[in-house]
Copies of this chain bind each other. A is one copy, B any other.
């Protein structure tokens, strides 16, 4: 018999995790190494130092340390907006008339509006500690850019953000939020970098992509003294920092004598998904439990469900190392899906490995169905979700409906990554029935696969 479950459970500061959990330590088959794009040799950690902060490069390469101490300064910052609540969706359950118990971990209660701040503050901290004067990055939906702007303002670091043009145009106020925190925001592709100019020359009307903005941000970082490049997803270090989401969730569920049968996360580059599943995946890797773990991605950018598991560039301009991951090809240009944070051609190498090895499932959902779930959720749970987050809601609702049909009282946990206050253009399109679903054809995908680098090691 489970304990009486409050609507919202907050850990105390004492209960908050003091270490991040490194999934790689428990993986029998590790993610494949990053490759130097010139030599195709596995990268050494020193190779990353010109681009990344040293400590972050070290974390990137660390496949063995199971728990990594969260520096006290970061713990203190976390306390400004964490712990995030674990919420029982009583009203959604009632509206769905389901015997399922639905929980969600809500990461939207900070000004970045999402979980992105968990890694942003860590990355800014290590940059400051190394004596750097500034950072560069890219942002899709704008949540990562906002989070990093907050973190850089806190540590008085300069910041240049390359924002995917389609998001820049859909979300005019996101730019202002970042500027409030003193960031410089540039629509990508732009004429401020060589790679940007080349992309624009090829396709002047492009809406941009995360892959393209990454290329610009890296070029800017390596050409500016005292700067390094940081990234809000995909990387191992990000999955490490985001483990705080899952660790807090697990402690809270233990307090309620609960354990999820299904853990659901939306998946763009993997920052949220890797975070929320981390300790539950550990149980699965170590044989302690076997929850279903479900990645939800947009049907318009289906890296897991229709991509290839292959070595590829992380960016469009092909300046990054090669990573082994599920990918649609770095030349794949996703359609103007409103979930800007999920419009990335690749996927975290850690999560790609786990998916490849059968530890996870993946589903792709169409955006009108996602917004239908978002609106239903908002009405019953009083939180207006980000379109990205609503992918997980869609899947949680679908699982809860299956429970209604089968009569099973499963325990579902999903990650509600953030709020949709800057996504009202998308909501407006949905409400006025102007929203369309885009699903790439096999031919569309094949064009991306054809340009994959031909690498086998």
Contacts and interface: CB of A to CB of B under 8 A. Distances in A.
A384 to B, nearest CB: 4
A14 to B, nearest CB: 9
Contact of A181 (B13, B80, B378): B378
Contacts of A182: 379
A382 B80 contact: yes
Given A80-B382, A378-B181, A12 B7 contact: no
A12 B5 CA distance: 12
A150 interface: yes
Indicate how many identical chains form the complex.
2
A181 B424 contact: no
Name which of A111, A113, A383, A431 has the most chain B CB atoms within 10 A of its CB. A111
Contacts of A111: 378, 382-384, 419
A344 interface: no
Interface in A2-24: 6-8, 10, 12-13
Contact of A431 (B81, B153, B180, B383): B180
Q: For the side of the interface on A, what is the size category?
A: 35 or more
A12 B81 CA distance: 18
A79 B431 CA distance: 29
A154 B382 contact: yes
Interface in A419-450: 419, 421-422, 424-425, 427-428, 431
Interface stretch (A171-179, A239-247, A292-300, A331-339): A171-179
A34 B207 CA distance: 58
Given A79-B8, A153-B379, A154-B380, A424 B110 contact: no
A179 to B, nearest CB: 6
Tell me the dominant secondary structure on chain A's binding face: helix
Contact of A7 (B80, B109, B425, B428): B80
Contacts of A384: 111, 177, 180
Contacts of A12: 6
Contacts of A427: 176-177, 180
A381 B80 contact: yes
Nearest to A91: B80
A43 interface: no
A45 interface: no
Nearest to A14: B6
Q: Which 9 A-B pairs have the closest CB atoms?
A: A173-B424, A421-B421, A7-B79, A176-B424, A111-B384, A153-B379, A176-B428, A6-B13, A10-B10
Given A8-B79, A173-B173, A176-B427, 5 more contacts: A6-B79, A10-B10, A111-B382, A111-B384, A180-B431
Interface of A: 6-8, 10, 12-13, 76, 79-81, 91, 109-111, 113, 117, 150, 153-154, 172-173, 176-177, 179-182, 375, 378-384, 419, 421-422, 424-425, 427-428, 431
